[in-house]
Structures are given as structure tokens and as C-alpha cells.
Structure 1
Amino acid sequence: MRPRSGPTVEHRILAVRLRLLRERAGVSLAAAAQALQAHPATVRRIERAETGLDARQVRVLLDRYGVPAADAEPIIAGLGAASLPGWWHQWRDAMEPWQQEVIGMESSAGLVRTWHPGLVPELLRTPAYAAALDRVLHPDGDPARRERRVELLRERQRRLSSRGARLWALIPAAALHTRVGDQRVMDEQREALAEAVHSPHVTVQVVPLDHPPHPLTGVPPLHLLRVSAPEIGDRAILETPGVRVDIVDDPDAVMNHSMRIDAACAAAPRPGTPFPVL
């Protein structure tokens, strides 16, 4: 069975607004559920964007919360856009379930900060590098599904660039020494990185091999996503390859990760410093 496409940011924003309206009205989950003639878990799932948005349910909730018609109508009008599947929906057969939430946030992020301890970060990988790495990570994988994953990555990169979103990557020099694929693949990847730094929306810092430890030394792949919507807080994504992916939304925990990446970037050579010679 194919996984359900993750919620869009528009869906998340509307879900948060419904929760805030309920809380401001002093209505409990149980009372809201009673208005819907449903279980409180249904309201909780609506407020967490874990289920589709039903216009009848939303109208009932807004009425129960005493929302004036002038305030309710824009919310109802936004249901159509919030209910549309994300652009990544067509690739869901080649995605891990956690990727749907991450890409949903990434697709509206104005800033993506990324760190990888030993490889070129995903959003800066060439198709050949991504495919070669996929063959290592999924040696028995379906070639057609592999190609779909590479296509999805290219579309993510294209959309990030077309929106003018900022990408800030911190890379250890070890990533440029770890050979993925053959020498041609690595040469192409290195050229792509050198070209990427000329984009006004891309910042790349490379930590030399002889650099002292920094706050991200030993930390698994880390990504910070910032969406310019007050209802949506920053997200931190921590990857433990082959084990799990943690999507962190607790503000204090996200701030802790943000401070660590700030300190690591401050300790690294300034952006624009030439890449180390291999």
C-alpha cells in the first residue's frame, strides 16, 4: 500500500489555526469532539495535520469556537489549497514515510541549513553521485526505484533554486575525500560544488581535515528548516542512516541544534575560502 502524501505547509498552518482558535475559545478537545460527534482523537489529528481537512467538520468547529463569519470565511476559502496534495505526491512510491514530512516543510522553507559528517549534503549532490551512493546503500534495490529517487532529488533542488530559498551547507573535507562512484563522478561532484558557491542563494563552508573539533564533530547528519510562517516553527532533522530519522519541533531542542550549527559555522573557514586541494 502506498504511503499517504504528507501534509503541505498550507495544511499545517490551517491545522495550527484551528488549534489556536479552540484554545482561545476555551473549548476542550472533548467538547470539540462532541460538536463533531466524534472521538477527541479525531480533533487531535485534525489539529496535528494528520488527517485530511473536511469542510463540514471545519465549519462545525469554527461555529463551536464562536468564530465570526468574517474570520471564518477566509479559513473556509483556504481549505481547497490546503487540501491539495503536495507536488511530491507523484513520487511517494519511491519515498520513505518520514521524507514526506521533511519535503513538505522543505518545500516552503526560506532557509535550509545542512551538515553531513562524511558525505556531500543531499541537496548539493549531482545525479551521478546520488545514484552511486544509492547503489551502495541499497545494493539489492530496484534500478527503476533508484532512478525515481534521483528524479525526486533533482526536483527538490530545482524547486529550492527557483524559489530563491537559501541553502547553507557545512561540509567536512572528508566528504570530498570519500569516493562515491568512480573518479569521473567525484570530479563532476566537485565541479558542481565549486559552481554552486557562485549562486547568491548558496553558501558552502568546508572544514579542513586538520581542523580542530567543533560543536558538530561526531554529530549525525543535521538539517534545520525555517519556514516564514508564524504558525510553523523551525524544524530540526537528525538522521541516523539505516536506523531512524528524528524530526524535532520542540523550540528549545531546535534552538540547541541551531546554536551548535551556528558555533560550528563560526569556527569553520569563512564562506568563499577555496576548497582544499585533493
Structure 2
Amino acid sequence: MRPRSGPTVEHRVLAARLRILRERAGVTLQAAAVALGAHPATVRRIERAETGLDAHQVRVLLERYGVPAAEAEPIMAGLAAANLPGWWHRWRDTMEPWQMEVIGIESSARLVRTWHPALVPELLRTPAYEAALCHTLYPDEPPARRERRVELLMERQRRLRESGAVLWALCPAAALHTRVGGPAVMSGQRVLLEEAAQRRHLTVQVVPLDFPPHPMSGVPALHLLRVAAPEIGDRAVLEIPGSRVDIIDEPGVVMDYRIRLDRACAGAPHPGTPLPAGDASAGNL
């Protein structure tokens, strides 16, 4: 079974290499399964990083694919690290399965682009903003569980900063008019966004209320993730209203969303432009 905390990028890379090696050798899923004495679905799950990488199974597959020792040994040596749980494992009790999938990729991302149609993008939220939002979205949850949600988001932000990943965020000025928490919360959130413009590796663009529709108008919250491993393609994460999340790895579809976001960013005020003024309901932003 897939580890409860979701596969790490290291796990995904080794799984993808096994698929590439099988295809390079011209071995079918059925033939690989025969070598393992298993069902073809087992091989498919291994290649999709949906199950742990068993050393015996991997060795058998490498031998079946005719992989020379010089190429096989680094793969075998990397199994232990690939099977380790990700840093987010300690928060797994507060996470949805899709979050494990996304954070597993985000944790090794070199570029994260994000758009939210109504709120401040999560990777730019203050603890107070996120806590107030969690109180609204999860009113029946125990306070301790909501606190852990905030802790997880803050840890994601910290790790992205320390990794040097590039974060490029786009949101409408409506996010500054939507009162989350109280005036103090919104004021603190505005300060963070203003300071963000001075940070290295961080770009923030806010579309004014009086701007015309743009290519991202009407699009749900979107995240584009890119890691430095060529075995792992870009991902688009689309948060559909109603608690449904689509994680898209089809290159053509991901490219379409990237082009949409590119065009919206090109038409938005240049990064570093002063934030639009808010209203009294948002705490005189």
C-alpha cells in the first residue's frame, strides 16, 4: 500500500525510473508481473509510487530488464531513502489524501505558481489569517486540530523559503476586501504581502477590482508545481468548489493552465506595484 503520508519525490523518481527502464527494455507489464509472480496491477502501482519499494521486487525487475550493475546499484542504494516518510508525516492525521500528494511534490519544488480567485493564496497567509479561515471552514473541528492545520501551513511556508524555491502568486484585490478574522488580522496580512515584495524568490501580483476580466477569471484556486527531477513532470492542482481537488499531470492540460496564468500575470500590475487600498470592512487596508 502507499505510505499513509504519501510518496516523497525521491520515491517518485525511483518509481519513474523503473517504468522508463521497463519501457526501454521492451518489457510489458504482463511480462514484468510474471517475473515477480504477481498481477500486472502490482507493477503498475510500483511504477506510480502507489506502494512501497520492496528491495527484492526491485532487484527482480532490474534483472528482468537487463539493467547492468553500474546502473542498478545506485537505484538499489537509494531505496532506503526513498521509502522514508516525508517530513509532513507527523501531520498526516490532519491531512486529506490529496494534500499528501501535493505536499509530497511541493516539498521538492523549485517553482510554485499559485492563484486564488477570492482569498490570499495559502502560501502567503499569516498564522492569524489561516487560523481565522480554519475557524470558518471547520467550525465543528476541535481547536487543537485546527491549530495543527495552521502549524502544517507554516511549516510548508518555512521549508519553501529555506529551499530557495521560487513562489509566484496572483490574486484579485477582492482578497483584500474579504474580511477574514477582524481588522487586526487583515492589517497583519496586508503587512506581510507588502513585505513579500521585498523578498528574494517571491513575486506577488494583485489584480485591481476595476480591471477587466482576464484569463484566470472564473478559474478555481490553482497551483502549478515544478521540481528539478526530469522524471517528474509539472503538476497542476485545481481546487474545485465542493471539496474536490484535481491533480493533473497531463502535459498538454498543465501547459494550458500555465499559458492562462502567464497571460493573466502579463496583464496584471507589475510586481512591486503598491497594493490596492481596501475598505473599512477589511480593516482599512
TM-score (norm 2): 0.96
SS of equivalent to 1:215: coil
Residue 124 of structure 2: aligned partner:
124
Q: Distance in 1 between matches of 2:63 and 2:7?
A: 24
Residue 167 of structure 1: aligned partner:
167
Residue 24 of structure 1: aligned partner:
24
Residue 204 of structure 1: aligned partner:
204
- Structure 2 residue 105 is the aligned partner of structure 1 residue 105: yes
- Structure 2 residue 178 is the aligned partner of structure 1 residue 178: yes
SS of equivalent to 2:199: coil
- Structure 2 residue 243 is the aligned partner of structure 1 residue 248: no
SS of equivalent to 1:158: helix
Q: Distance in 1 between matches of 2:98 and 2:129?
A: 22
Render the CA deviation track for 1:55-81: whole Å, top value 9, x for unaligned.
000000000000001110000011111
Q: Distance in 2 between matches of 1:116 and 1:179?
A: 15
Amino acid across the alignment from 2:137: L
Q: How far 1:263 moved relative to its partner?
A: 0.3
Amino acid across the alignment from 1:210: D
SS of equivalent to 1:81: helix
Amino acid across the alignment from 2:78: G
Residue 67 of structure 1: aligned partner:
67
Q: How far 1:31 moved relative to its partner?
A: 0.7
Q: How far 1:243 moved relative to its partner?
A: 2.8
Residue 281 of structure 2: aligned partner:
none
Q: How far 1:277 moved relative to its partner?
A: 1.6
User: In percent, how many aligned pairs have the same letter?
Assistant: 75
Q: How far 1:191 moved relative to its partner?
A: 0.5
> What is the CA RMSD across the aligned residues, in angstroms?
0.8
SS of equivalent to 1:219: coil
- Give the total of aligned pairs: 276
Q: Which runs of 5 or more residues in structure 2 are unaligned?
A: 279-285
Residue 43 of structure 1: aligned partner:
43
Amino acid across the alignment from 2:93: D
Render the CA deviation track for 1:208-249: whole Å, top value 9, x for unaligned.
000000000011001100111110000000002433000000
Residue 77 of structure 2: aligned partner:
77
Amino acid across the alignment from 2:97: P
SS of equivalent to 1:224: strand
Q: Distance in 2 between matches of 1:74 and 1:121?
A: 39
Q: Which runs of 5 or more residues in structure 1 are unaligned?
A: none
- Structure 2 residue 151 is the aligned partner of structure 1 residue 148: no
SS of equivalent to 1:110: strand
TM-score (norm 1): 0.98
Residue 218 of structure 1: aligned partner:
218
Q: Could you list the runs of 4 or more consecutive aligned residues of structure 1 that deviate by over 6 angstroms after TM superposition?
A: none
Amino acid across the alignment from 1:58: V
- Structure 2 residue 115 is the aligned partner of structure 1 residue 115: yes
